[in-house]
Chains A and B, each alone.
Chain A
């Protein structure tokens, strides 16, 4: 089977600055791929390009066999933006039902998505009255409610307590086991270890594209944090692109 996402020589400029500088990589189907990198490294821009809402300067992004942003993909891709993009003046359930309806799903799927993110107790609460972590889970429920083939999650676990974070990651892996492809960004390295594959970007360039085990082996250390530091230093001295 071909890859879920294939990116070639992706160039993106935002506000007169080159944000993505020639990224080429692939994301396998049915796995959780982590997009790691410090704040400002271009993770969100990369995800926007995959979803098809980013104007790109050059290169190609192919998603599920079609150019990113193709109308047919809108049924197949779920996108969680970094800032929770849900309606603050609607309840959690009303939000989930609306996004369910956009994807042709009903009330049962909406309620399922709400309980999957642990918000069943807060279903009738207005989103505007939720805590930051709850609000981002409400947004996550709206991204998952259409049962998309490809899920793009921009920092889904920020502000969640450790138990919930573990639950969410278990959920992501269950989805991957059922055939869903997930691309999950994070700037927290301890989440990298939970991914099947990792893409590490820094200053708009890809500096690693491998499994966590292979990255540890290549760097010669057990700690992923330390492994990334070594990769970054190696990249800085050679001035090259590790991929």
Chain B
């Protein structure tokens, strides 16, 4: 990796994003609109005594899920465009290292996700009175880590997609099972053993658990830090696999 090339690549990806005003608007606005829907869906549901309200529980998890899902999709398509436009082939004939490109995407979309998470968290806390025992800064920080996880998985999966149709199909394959089993719909300890085993193998489960730890505890817990480390480990693993599938020579 070369810091100058990494910085140039990150800047280039952010410039591409800046020219696409509609995408920026969608990235920033859509999570807040969906949070609004959730708020009114549960507005008339009383909270069980001693437990967080349904909105607090679901909105907190959604703050981590938006950046993960959206950055996964955006990255898959961006990387596929690099392949089909020939820019990837050209980049690989220049001094650019594979990790410069992969980390460039991770940092650029991580920054975009930070803006997205900050706006969504701002709406959740200030407009809808989201209540978490822990610090809102931690919630945003974990949301950004989730986004980077989405970027890393998107970079890896894009190696297996030849067309846009295939790339989009990786959403139900890679993302939806993680959503179903992350503990949002059924608590993880109430699922059948084999489902729990699957859930334990999915990185998103740890990301969501980390958010729930912040929701339930005033101070960061050891479990939360462990979860964050597991997610970051999954990010590194996905990036290494993505680098391994990025071939300078093709047939």
Which A residues are closer than 8 A to B by beta carbons?
Answer: 13-15, 51-55, 69, 74-75, 77, 79, 81, 83-90, 94, 98-99, 101-104, 126, 142, 146
CA distance A87 to B85 in the complex (A): 8
| Minimum Cβ distance to chain A for residue B19 (Å) | 5
Contact A146 B86 (CB under 8 A): no
In the complex, which of the residues B16, B86, B91 contacts A90, with contact meaning CB atoms closer than 8 Å? B16
Closest 8 CB pairs of A and B: A85-B86, A101-B8, A98-B12, A102-B94, A85-B90, A74-B95, A85-B87, A79-B93
Q: Which residues of B contact A146 (CB under 8 A)?
A: 94
Q: Which residues of B contact A86 (CB under 8 A)?
A: 87
Contact A102 B89 (CB under 8 A): no
| Minimum Cβ distance to chain A for residue B197 (Å) | 40
Q: Which residues of B contact A83 (CB under 8 A)?
A: 85-86
| Minimum Cβ distance to chain A for residue B78 (Å) | 10
The answer to the question of B251 belonging to the interface, with a C-beta cut-off of 8 Å to chain A, is: yes
Can you show 14 pairs from A to B with CB atoms below 8 A apart? A14-B251, A52-B248, A53-B248, A69-B248, A74-B93, A81-B89, A81-B90, A83-B86, A85-B87, A87-B12, A88-B85, A90-B16, A98-B11, A104-B95
Size class of the B contact interface (CB-based, 8 Å):
20 to 34
Q: Which residues of A contact B16 (CB under 8 A)?
A: 87, 89-90
Most buried by A among B12, B91, B93: B93
Contact A85 B95 (CB under 8 A): no
Q: A54-B249, A55-B250, A146-B94 are in contact. Are A94 and B12 (CB under 8 A)?
A: yes
Contact A51 B94 (CB under 8 A): no
Q: Which residues of B contact A94 (CB under 8 A)?
A: 12, 15
The answer to the question of B5 belonging to the interface, with a C-beta cut-off of 8 Å to chain A, is: yes
Contact A87 B87 (CB under 8 A): yes
Contact A75 B89 (CB under 8 A): no
Interface residues of B in 2-22 (CB under 8 A from A): 4-5, 8-9, 11-12, 15-16, 19-20
Q: Which residues of B contact A53 (CB under 8 A)?
A: 89, 92-93, 248-250
Contact B94 A99 (CB under 8 A): yes
Q: Which residues of B contact A126 (CB under 8 A)?
A: 19
CA distance A102 to B12 in the complex (A): 11
The answer to the question of B96 belonging to the interface, with a C-beta cut-off of 8 Å to chain A, is: yes
Contact B248 A103 (CB under 8 A): no
CA distance A94 to B86 in the complex (A): 17
CA distance A13 to B249 in the complex (A): 13
Q: Which residues of A contact B87 (CB under 8 A)?
A: 85-87
**Interface residues as binary, B208-251 with A (CB distance below 8 Å gives 1, 0 otherwise):** 00000000000000000000000000000000000000001111
Q: Which residues of A contact B248 (CB under 8 A)?
A: 52-53, 69
Contact A51 B93 (CB under 8 A): yes
Q: Which residues of A contact B249 (CB under 8 A)?
A: 52-55, 69
Other contacts beyond A74-B94, A104-B95: 19, CB < 8 A: A14-B251, A15-B251, A52-B248, A54-B249, A55-B250, A69-B248, A69-B249, A86-B87, A87-B16, A87-B87, A89-B16, A89-B19, A90-B12, A90-B16, A94-B12, A94-B15, A98-B12, A99-B94, A146-B94
Q: Which residues of A contact B86 (CB under 8 A)?
A: 81, 83-85
CA distance A94 to B248 in the complex (A): 24
| Minimum Cβ distance to chain B for residue A107 (Å) | 12
Most buried by A among B16, B91, B94: B94
In the complex, which of the residues A54, A81, A89, A103 contacts B250, with contact meaning CB atoms closer than 8 Å? A54
CA distance A87 to B94 in the complex (A): 16
CA distance A14 to B20 in the complex (A): 37
Contact A104 B89 (CB under 8 A): no
CA distance A104 to B95 in the complex (A): 9
Q: Which residues of A contact B95 (CB under 8 A)?
A: 74-75, 102-104
| Minimum Cβ distance to chain A for residue B113 (Å) | 19
| Minimum Cβ distance to chain A for residue B80 (Å) | 14
Most buried by B among A77, A83, A98: A98
CA distance A146 to B9 in the complex (A): 16
CA distance A104 to B3 in the complex (A): 11
CB nearest neighbor in A for B12: A98
| Minimum Cβ distance to chain A for residue B199 (Å) | 38
Q: Which residues of A contact B12 (CB under 8 A)?
A: 87, 90, 94, 98
CB nearest neighbor in B for A95: B12
CA distance A86 to B86 in the complex (A): 8
| Minimum Cβ distance to chain B for residue A138 (Å) | 12
In the complex, which of the residues A13, A74, A85, A98 contacts B85, with contact meaning CB atoms closer than 8 Å? A85
| Minimum Cβ distance to chain A for residue B202 (Å) | 33
